[in-house]
Amino acid sequence: MTTRSSGKIAFVVLRDGTGYVQGVVSKQEVAPEIWDAFRQLTQETSVEVTGSVRADERSPSGVELTVTGLDVLGSGTDFPISPKEHGTAFLFEHRHLWLRSRRQVAIMRVRHEVVQGIRDFFHERDFTLVDTPILTGSIGESAGTLFETEYFDLGKAYLAQTGQLYLEAAAAALGRVYCFGPTFRAEKSKTRRHLTEFWMVEPEVAWNDSDDNMRLQEDLISYIVARCLDRRAEELKELERDATGLERVAPPFPRLSYTDAIAKLGELGADIQWGQDLGGDEETLLANAYDRPLFVYNYPRAVRAFYMKQNPDDPRTVLNNDCLAPEGYGEIIGGSQREDDHDLLLDRIRELGLPEETYGWYLDLRKYGTFVHSGFGLGVERTVGWICGIPHVREAIAFPRTMTRLYP
Amino acid sequence: MTTRSSGKIAFVVLRDGTGYVQGVVSKQEVAPEIWDAFRQLTQETSVEVTGSVRADERSPSGVELTVTGLDVLGSGTDFPISPKEHGTAFLFEHRHLWLRSRRQVAIMRVRHEVVQGIRDFFHERDFTLVDTPILTGSIGESAGTLFETEYFDLGKAYLAQTGQLYLEAAAAALGRVYCFGPTFRAEKSKTRRHLTEFWMVEPEVAWNDSDDNMRLQEDLISYIVARCLDRRAEELKELERDATGLERVAPPFPRLSYTDAIAKLGELGADIQWGQDLGGDEETLLANAYDRPLFVYNYPRAVRAFYMKQNPDDPRTVLNNDCLAPEGYGEIIGGSQREDDHDLLLDRIRELGLPEETYGWYLDLRKYGTFVHSGFGLGVERTVGWICGIPHVREAIAFPRTMTRLYP
C-alpha cells in the first residue's frame, strides 16, 4: 500500500497477493472521515476497501478501483523499507519485510514456476519421487564442509550434501527416480554463487549412460526455461530481464570435452593446465563463448567425486559433465555416470581414505545386481538466478543462509 | 528377478522399474548355453533379455515374454533378502535392498502420488511455493527437541521443526503460500507415529480464519485420497488395502470442539480432564467413533503453541484444530489461526520465556500491516501410512530416521 494525493483526489496502490490495483478516492464523493483516513494511510498498512471497479487503459492491471469504503486493519507506521535506496545488508536484515517488494514477489513467483516445472517434468516422465534423508552417517561430497549434529547414542549425524547415494539404491527398485530437497555446505565462501543451504533436484536413472544423462539435462533445462517464458512473462518483465538469451535455450546444447575445454581456455588466454579443475572464472570465460548452456564432460578423475565412473577409453578421466549457464552464470548442473564396478569403487573409497564402514550399503548396490546408471544435480537458486537475471543467488531464495547470515 | 524351473521349461519374473513380467524359456527352443545361464539365475541378478511378447490372460501384467536371448550384467548371488520372513530390524538394516520388494515399491509410488498431488492441489489454487530455511535461529515449537549445529561465528543453528513462522512473512507478500520440506524433532520417542526427520507441507493463507482453514484442510485431504484411489489402485491392491474407508473421505468432515471432545471421551470411558492435551490413545478413541477424518478444534491455550490466536469468545482456548485420521491413525494435521495482535503475541513470548530477540522479525509482521491469517501442517508419512494402511510410519519413507537408526 502506497499513497499519493492532491487536494481533491487521492490514489493508493493496493496489493492482495494476486496482483496490484490502483484505488482512487474523490473527496467530493465520500464521507469526510473516509477521506481523512485515506489520506493518512501509510505504506504497508493493511486495509479492507469497498468500491467499484472500472476498466482503465492506463493502468497496468487494466482496471482502477473507485473506493467508497475503507477499514484500516493494521497500521504500517514507520515501515522500515521505503521506496528510496537501501544497502544490501539492511535489506537482508529486513528480508521478512523486503519480500513484499514487487521485485522480490516476482522472483518468488519465478522460483515457484521453476520448482513446479521440475516436478511436473519428472512426473510426466514417470519418475518416482524418493525423498532422501538430510541426517546421514555417510558423506556425499567432501568431508571438510559438513554441518554436524549430535544424534542420540549414535554419535554424529551430518547434514546431507546430496541425496544421490540413496537415490542409486532407489533407482535399483524403481528405475527412474528423483529427490528434491535442501542440501548443505558449511563452506566459508562469500561468492555470489554460494549459499550454505540451497535446494537441489537430483534425478537418477537406471540404464542411462553419460550420453543419455546429458540429453535428460538439456531436455529438463529447456523445459523449465520455456515454461517460465510462457507463464511468467509478467514477472520477467517486472525484473527487466532481457529474454533474448533465454529464448535460444533448446536442445542440443554444445558439448566440449574437458581436454578440448583446456585447449580452448588456452586460446582464450587463461592460464590453466590439464588436470586442474575449472574455477568460476574459467567457467565464465568458456560459457561466454556460447549463446546457450554448455556441457563440459569427462573431467580428470582426480578433481571429481569418488562415485563417478572411470572412463574406459581414458582412465585418467571419468564419465561426468557439468552444465554451464550462459551470460556469466556458470555451473548449474553437475552429473555423471556412476561407477557400477564393485572393486573399482572400493579401491577408490580406500584411495581417498573415506570411512569404508559407512559405505557398506552403497557398495552392496554393486554386489547385488549392479547396473549402468547416471544422474545429476541441478541447483535451484543458480537456475532461478540465471532465469531472473539477478546477480547473486541469495535473492533467489526467500530466507538465504550464508556464513554471515542466519537471521531472519 | 526370481526363477523357478522344471526340466524343460523355466520361468523368471523380471522387473524393470515400470512393472513386472514373467519370462519363459523353453529348453528346446534356445541354445544350451542360454538354457544353462537362465536356470542358474538367482534373485536380483541384473540381466538384459530379448524375446517376443505375447498376450497371456493368466498373467497379472497381461503379457508373458518368451525369452530367446540373455545377457547377465550383474550377479545377485547371496542377496540377503529372500522371500522368507525376516525380522524388522534386519529389514531396516538392509533398507537399501529391501526397497526393491513389491510392497516397498508400492508404498513409494503412493508416496510419490501424495506429494505430487499436494503440489498440484496448491499450484492449481494459485499458491506460491516458498521454501523456508532448515537452519534457523528461531525456534518454532518446543526447545527441548531441537537438533543443533555450530554455525560459523554466529553460534548455534537449529534444524527447523516448522517453516510456519517464515511462511507468515511470505503470506504478507504473496497472499497464499506453502512450504514443503523436511522437518526435525530430536524426540526420544519410539512410537509408531514418530520419526526424527519427516516431511511436512504447510500452507499459510492471508485473510483465512480458523473456519476457512479447516475447509482448506478437508479439501486437501479429500483431493489426495481421491487421487490415490484413482491413480494408485494397483499399488493399494498390492498392499491389500481395504479402500472402503478411504472412499468415504469427502467434505465436510465432522467437527468437535475440544470441550465437547472431553465430554465425549468421558462418555467413552477415558480418564481425561478439561485442560489436558489429548494423547495418542484419546485421539484413537475419538477418531474411531467416526467413519471419516475428524476435526477437534479450540484447544486450551496452555497446551498449544505460542503463536496461536487467542479465542475472543473463550480466552482459555485458542483458534486451532487438529485433524484425526480414522482407522486408528490419529493426528495428521495441526493448524490454527495465528495471533495477529502484536501485544498479545509479545506477552505470550515473554510468558513462555522464549528468546525475544530471535523473534524480533516475527513480531514485525504484527507491527507493519497485520492481518488475519491461518495455516496448518500435514505430515506426509502419517498421511501415506494411513492411505497405504501400514502400521508404522517408518515404512512410509525411503530411509527412515529414528532415535536408533541413522543407517543406511
**Mind spelling out the 3-state secondary structure of B189-243?**
CCCCCCCCEEEEEEEEEECCCHHHHHHHHHHHHHHHHHHHHHHCHHHHHHCCCCC
- Examine the pLDDT at B94 and tell me if it is beyond 70: yes
pLDDT at residue A144 in the model: 75
| Element containing residue A106 per DSSP (H, E) | helix A102-124
Query: Per the domain annotation, does A177 fall within a domain?
Result: yes
Cβ separation B129–A147 shorter than 8 A? no
pLDDT at residue B84 in the model: 84
Query: Per the domain annotation, does B407 fall within a domain?
Result: no
Residue A176, beta-bridge partner list: A205
**Structure pTM?**
0.97
Residues 159-178 of B with CB under 8 A from A: 159, 166, 169-176
Q: How far off is chain B from A121, nearest CA to CA, in Å?
A: 11
- Examine the pLDDT at B89 and tell me if it is beyond 90: yes
**How many angstroms separate the CA atoms of A196 and A159, rounded?**
11
Whose cell is 494408485? That residue is: B232
**Does B206 reach chain A within 8 Å, measured CB to CB?**
yes
Domain-terminating residue out of A44, A74, A104: A74
Over the stretch B208-259, which tens digit does the pLDDT of each residue have? Answer: 999 999 999 999 999 999 999 999 999 999 999 999 999 999 999 999 999 9
- Examine the pLDDT at B4 and tell me if it is beyond 90: no
Buried b vs exposed e over A236-268: b needs ≥16 C-beta within 10 Å? bebbebeeebbeebeeebebbbbbebbeebeee
Domain-terminating residue out of A41, A74, A107: A74
Cβ separation A407–B173 shorter than 8 A? no
Cβ separation A166–B96 shorter than 8 A? yes
Cβ separation B369–A111 shorter than 8 A? no
Query: Per the domain annotation, does A181 fall within a domain?
Result: yes
Query: Per the domain annotation, does A88 fall within a domain?
Result: no
Residue B403, beta-bridge partner list: none
Considering only CB atoms, which chain B residues are within 8 Å of A126?
A: 18
Same domain, yes or no, for A153 and A31?
no
pLDDT at residue A61 in the model: 83
Which of B75, B159, B371 comes nearest A46 by C-beta?
A: B371
List Cβ neighbours of B315 (8 Å cut-off, separation of 6 or more): B301
Enter the C-alpha cell of residue B395: 515404512
Residues 54-113 of A with CB under 8 A from B: 73-80, 94-97, 99-100, 104-105, 108-109, 111-112
Q: Give percent above pLDDT 70 in chain A.
A: 98
- Examine the pLDDT at B59 and tell me if it is beyond 60: yes
**How many angstroms separate the CA atoms of B339 and B301, rounded?**
12
Q: How far off is chain B from A258, nearest CA to CA, in Å?
A: 30
Same domain, yes or no, for B235 and B157?
yes
Nearest to B408 by CA among A166, A170, A154, A203: A166
Considering only CB atoms, which chain A residues are within 8 Å of B109?
A: 128, 174
Query: Per the domain annotation, does B90 fall within a domain?
Result: no
Q: pLDDT-based confidence at B142, cuts 50/70/90? A: low
Range scoring the smallest mean pLDDT among A57-61, B72-76, B213-217, B367-371: A57-61
Same domain, yes or no, for B156 and B192?
yes
Whose cell is 587463461? That residue is: A270
Torsion of CA A24, A29, A33, A35, to 10 degrees: 30
Cβ separation A128–B116 shorter than 8 A? no
Whose cell is 492491471? That residue is: A61
Q: pLDDT-based confidence at A84, cuts 50/70/90? A: confident
Which of B153, B404, B407 comes nearest A137 by C-beta?
A: B407
- Examine the pLDDT at B141 and tell me if it is beyond 60: no
pLDDT at residue B139 in the model: 65
| Element containing residue B135 per DSSP (H, E) | strand B135-136
Considering only CB atoms, which chain B residues are within 8 Å of A76?
A: 368-369
Which of A112, A174, A197 comes nearest B135 by C-beta?
A: A197
- Examine the pLDDT at A6 and tell me if it is beyond 80: no
- Examine the pLDDT at A282 and tell me if it is beyond 70: yes
Range scoring the smallest mean pLDDT among A196-210, B38-52, B135-149: B135-149
Over the stretch A199-244, which tens digit does the pLDDT of each residue have? Answer: 999 999 999 999 999 999 999 999 999 999 999 999 999 999 999 9
- Examine the pLDDT at B123 and tell me if it is beyond 80: yes
- Examine the pLDDT at B143 and tell me if it is beyond 80: no
Considering only CB atoms, which chain B residues are within 8 Å of A42?
A: none
The one-letter amino acid code at A95 reads R
Chain B residue whose CA is closest to A156: B406
Q: B29 near B51, Cβ under 8 Å?
A: no
Same domain, yes or no, for A159 and A270?
yes
Cβ separation A365–B169 shorter than 8 A? no
- Examine the pLDDT at B163 and tell me if it is beyond 90: yes
**What backbone phi and psi angles, to 5 degrees, belong to B85?**
-70, 140
**How many angstroms separate the CA atoms of A167 and A313, rounded?**
27
**What backbone phi and psi angles, to 5 degrees, belong to B308?**
-80, 145
Over the stretch A7-34, which tens digit does the pLDDT of each residue have? Answer: 899 999 999 988 999 999 999 999 999 9
The one-letter amino acid code at A305 reads A
Nearest to A170 by CA among B228, B408, B384, B233: B408
A89 class by beta-carbon count within 10 Å (0-12 exposed, 13-18 middle, 19+ buried): exposed
**How many angstroms separate the CA atoms of A183 and B156, rounded?**
18
**Does A126 reach chain B within 8 Å, measured CB to CB?**
yes
- Examine the pLDDT at A303 and tell me if it is beyond 80: yes
**Does B119 reach chain A within 8 Å, measured CB to CB?**
yes
Which of A166, A404, A408 comes nearest B398 by C-beta?
A: A166
Q: How far off is chain A from B199, nearest CA to CA, in Å?
A: 9
Cβ separation A369–B399 shorter than 8 A? no
**Does B14 reach chain A within 8 Å, measured CB to CB?**
no
The string of DSSP codes covering B314-351 is: -TTBBSEEEEEETTTTEEEEEEEEBP--HHHHHHHHHH
CA angle A145, A148, A149 (to 5 degrees): 170
Cis peptide before A391 (omega within 30 of 0): no
pLDDT at residue A169 in the model: 98
What region, left, alpha or beta, does residue A56 occupy, with left being phi > 0 and alpha being psi -120 to 50 degrees? beta
Same domain, yes or no, for B224 and B123?
yes
Considering only CB atoms, which chain A residues are within 8 Å of B172?
A: 99-100
Query: Per the domain annotation, does A358 fall within a domain?
Result: yes
Size of interface A-B (CB pairs under 8 A): 259
**How many angstroms separate the CA atoms of B151 and B158, rounded?**
9
Q: How far off is chain B from A227, nearest CA to CA, in Å?
A: 14
Which of B137, B184, B368 comes nearest A76 by C-beta?
A: B368
pLDDT at residue B199 in the model: 98
For range B2-25, the mean pLDDT: 86
**What backbone phi and psi angles, to 5 degrees, belong to B24?**
-125, 135
Q: What is the CATH number of the domain that holds A56?
A: 2.40.50.140
Q: pLDDT-based confidence at B60, cuts 50/70/90? A: confident
Residue B200, beta-bridge partner list: B181, B379
Q: What is the CATH number of the domain that holds A363?
A: 3.30.930.10
For range A394-399, the mean pLDDT: 98
**How many angstroms separate the CA atoms of B156 and B362, rounded?**
19
List Cβ neighbours of B266 (8 Å cut-off, separation of 6 or more): B272
Same domain, yes or no, for A56 and A104?
no
For range A84-109, the mean pLDDT: 96
Query: Per the domain annotation, does B408 fall within a domain?
Result: no
Same domain, yes or no, for A239 and A301?
yes
Residues 183-202 of B with CB under 8 A from A: 184, 186, 188, 196-197, 199
- In the β-sheet with A148-150, what is the strand arrangement from edge to edge? A135-136, A156-159, A148-150
Q: How far off is chain A from B353, nearest CA to CA, in Å?
A: 20
**Does A147 reach chain B within 8 Å, measured CB to CB?**
yes
pLDDT at residue A141 in the model: 55
Whose cell is 543419455? That residue is: A212
Residues 319-378 of B with CB under 8 A from A: 340, 358, 360-362, 364-366, 368-372
Cβ separation B44–A368 shorter than 8 A? yes
Whose cell is 469526510? That residue is: A32
Same domain, yes or no, for B38 and B121?
no
Cis peptide before A133 (omega within 30 of 0): no
Q: Give percent above pLDDT 70 in chain B.
A: 98
**Does A115 reach chain B within 8 Å, measured CB to CB?**
yes
**How many angstroms separate the CA atoms of A161 and A142, rounded?**
9
Query: Per the domain annotation, does A50 fall within a domain?
Result: yes
Q: How far off is chain B from A171, nearest CA to CA, in Å?
A: 8
Q: How far off is chain B from A252, nearest CA to CA, in Å?
A: 27
Task: Provide the domain limits for residue A349.
Answer: 95-396
**Does B251 reach chain A within 8 Å, measured CB to CB?**
no
For range B22-32, the mean pLDDT: 93
Which DSSP symbol is given to B306? Answer: T
Same domain, yes or no, for B44 and B146?
no
**Does B303 reach chain A within 8 Å, measured CB to CB?**
no
Same domain, yes or no, for A57 and A132?
no
pLDDT at residue A1 in the model: 54
Cβ separation B406–A157 shorter than 8 A? yes
Chain B residue whose CA is closest to A120: B116
pLDDT at residue B394 in the model: 96
Torsion of CA A387, A393, A399, A402, to 10 degrees: 170
- In this structure, chain B runs to a length of 408
Number of domains in chain B: 2
Considering only CB atoms, which chain B residues are within 8 Å of A197?
A: 133-135
Same domain, yes or no, for B11 and B112?
no
Nearest to A52 by CA among A38, A68, A33: A68
Chain mean pLDDT for chain A: 94
Same domain, yes or no, for A163 and A115?
yes
**How many angstroms separate the CA atoms of A362 and A374, rounded?**
15
As for the ipTM of the complex, it is: 0.96
Domain-terminating residue out of B16, B44, B74: B74
pLDDT at residue A80 in the model: 95
**How many angstroms separate the CA atoms of A64 and A18, rounded?**
15
**Does B226 reach chain A within 8 Å, measured CB to CB?**
no
